[in-house]
A = this chain, B = another copy of it.
Amino acid sequence: MELYLDMLQQLQSEGRAHVTSSEIGAVTGVSPEKVRQDLFRLGSEGKPKVGYEVAQLTALIRSAFDLDSPKKACIVGLGNLGRALAASAIWSGAGFTLAAAFDRDPSVIGTEVAGIRVRSVAEIFGVVKAEGIVVGVIAVPAAAAQETADLMVNAGIQAIWNFAPVKLRTPEHVVVENQSLAWGLITLSHAMKSQIR
């Protein structure tokens, strides 16, 4: 679905009004049948020969993924990865604003990253409440990940995007999306071995 969205947004920027399931399939590497199934489940049917309305379909996917409702996020851990995430262009495309950044290193606290002043993690409780921050990004070392998650949960964070290779213990109402780079590399290693066989 993310692939469809990329393609549709590309078409929209080119001013295209319609797209067929075959075209979507050709670009995304998904079979046209599967494309039609996916989009039907989402509530959209293409017209024969004409296809789907690009603008309508884009809006439908963005709505299904809730990408247009504004959501505030914070990052804890401003090492290389935290800085890369803070400076990246990914936030606004999914409706997020990066509203705060926290670290516990005194030499990092007070510096600016991507236009945001880094604060002490000790301030997280007050800042999350005051700013209405709902998402917390964990970009700290593995050993500090659980402690950081606990702080976030106590502060009222609803969802955690976790880059540490750690299975976090969190209450059921908190959404956790794991994106460990170490695991990505392990998966790649495994895929290479399978391919060579």
Contact = CB atoms under 8 A, between A and B. Distances in A.
A33 to B, nearest CB: 18
A191 B189 CA distance: 28
A27 B167 contact: yes
Nearest to A91: B185
A50 interface: no
A67 B95 CA distance: 38
A191 B175 contact: yes
Nearest to A28: B167
Contacts of A144: none
A6 B188 contact: no
Contacts of A190: 64-66
Instruction: List the number of copies, as a whole number.
Output: 2
A161 interface: yes
Nearest to A169: B29
Count chain B CB atoms within 10 A of each CB in A28, A83, A185, A195 and give the residue with the most.
A185
Nearest to A87: B80
B167 A3 contact: yes
Interface stretch (A100-108, A125-133, A176-184): A176-184
Contacts of A79: 84
A179 B87 CA distance: 17
B84 A80 contact: yes
A8 interface: no
A81 interface: yes
Contacts of A158: 192, 195
Given A65-B193, A159-B192, 20 more contacts: A67-B189, A80-B80, A80-B83, A80-B84, A80-B88, A81-B88, A83-B84, A85-B181, A88-B181, A90-B185, A91-B185, A93-B182, A94-B182, A94-B185, A95-B189, A96-B185, A159-B195, A175-B191, A177-B187, A179-B184
